Amino acid sequence: MLNLVTGATGHIGNVLVRRLLELGQRVRVFILPGEDRSALEGLEIEYAEGNVLDPESLAQAMVGVNMVYHLAGVITILPGKNDFVERVNVQGTRNVLAAARRAGVGRVIYTGSIHAFQRVPHGVLVDEAVPFDAEHAINAYDRSKALASMAVQEAVREGQDAVIACPTGVIGPHDYRLSEMGALIFDWIKTRTAMIIKGAYDFVDVRDVAEGLILAAARGRTGETYILSGQQIQVPDILKLVSDALGKPRKSICLPTGLARFFSHFAAFFSRLTHTTPRFTPYSIATLDGNSTISHAKAERELGFNPRPLRQTISDTVAWLLKNRKRFERAKE
């Protein structure tokens, strides 16, 4: 059994590779030429270099492959249109599907996003009955993931075997590139007083997402979508779990949502000038202020998906960040 994993150097990607190897499966990773491989260092895997926008390199990577896990993509929490994000996430997905079909690959597991779904008001349960919504997406990333998910559905209608898995907010160890939440938790580790805002979201352990993808490959029904969610939690409660994991209290300054939203517009503008990513943007605040009552009942029922408690996730994340603290501090120098 040979698995091809695109986006393997990312957070979910490298954890998925590790889990597949633990299960005794062969793994080939599809990465950009010259891409940093440190997240995969020491793993017994095959490398195929290329780009999801280059069909020829995809065709070469697909030779002999039985299963494709497509995770490669570009994430942004900044507002506004972004042609590059849409090109990689949408056309790249179409290219992966086409290459897999031509190579006779048995199944494609597409890692979508909870943000691809229509944003429904509080009081409405977010599950797989909620449609993908590109028309009303609040930023380029949401739109691109909705369009890519719909491209997978179209491929299924044309006879391809594919399954969509949509994680919520991902937290966990092996976060080598420091995701948005990983960077925020790392900031909280280094400071005694944290700046936070009110709001809640659903977060899931990266290891459970990797397991969910493998379960989707083995048990998922063709053409179906499965939400891989974890636990809804308030931002101050996440900080409390970080403090508990550290064994040291962390004070907090909680900005009112309206004030945070006002300043977030300036943060987004400043980030474009400095080429940095702000912790809070209009997008992230809208997410924390929106409906995050999300169900993974379908994945639990059909796949056997069973996410661990968030307290364990935060504890393991803090331990991993502390172990790798020098790596991230050197990267900022």
The pLDDT tens digits of the residues spanning 69-97 come to: 999 999 987 777 899 999 999 999 999 99
Q: For residue 191, what pLDDT is reported? A: 87
CB 198 within 8 A of CB 235: yes
Q: 145: which residues sit within 8 A by CB, 6+ positions away?
A: 73, 89, 112, 113, 115, 116
Q: Within 13 Å and on the Cβ side, how many CA atoms surround 288?
A: 24
- Position 249, amino acid: P
Structure token digits, residue 223: 């053409």
Reported as a pLDDT band with limits 50, 70 and 90, residue 298 is: very high
Helix%, strand%, coil% for the chain, nearest 5: 45, 20, 35
Burial per residue of 295-332, b for 16 or more beta-carbon CB atoms within 10 angstroms, e otherwise? bbebbbeebebebbebeebbbbbbebbeebeeebeeee
Whole-angstrom distance, CA of residue 163 vs CA of residue 105: 13
- Apex CA 67: angle with CA 181 and CA 87, to 5°? 55
Whole-angstrom distance, CA of residue 142 vs CA of residue 157: 23
Burial of 247 (0-12, 13-18, 19+ CB in 10 A): exposed
pLDDT above 70 for 152: yes
Query: Residues 214-236: what's their mean pLDDT?
Result: 97
Whole-angstrom distance, CA of residue 320 vs CA of residue 191: 17
pLDDT above 80 for 321: yes
Q: What is the overall mean pLDDT for the chain?
A: 93
Q: For residue 256, what pLDDT is reported? A: 74
Q: What is the DSSP letter of 294?
A: B
Q: Report yes or no on whether pTM surpasses 0.85.
A: yes
pLDDT above 60 for 275: no
β-sheet bridge partners, residue 225: 164
Q: 61: which residues sit within 8 A by CB, 6+ positions away?
A: 4, 28, 30, 48, 50, 99
pLDDT above 60 for 107: yes
CB 217 within 8 A of CB 69: yes
Reported as a pLDDT band with limits 50, 70 and 90, residue 269 is: low
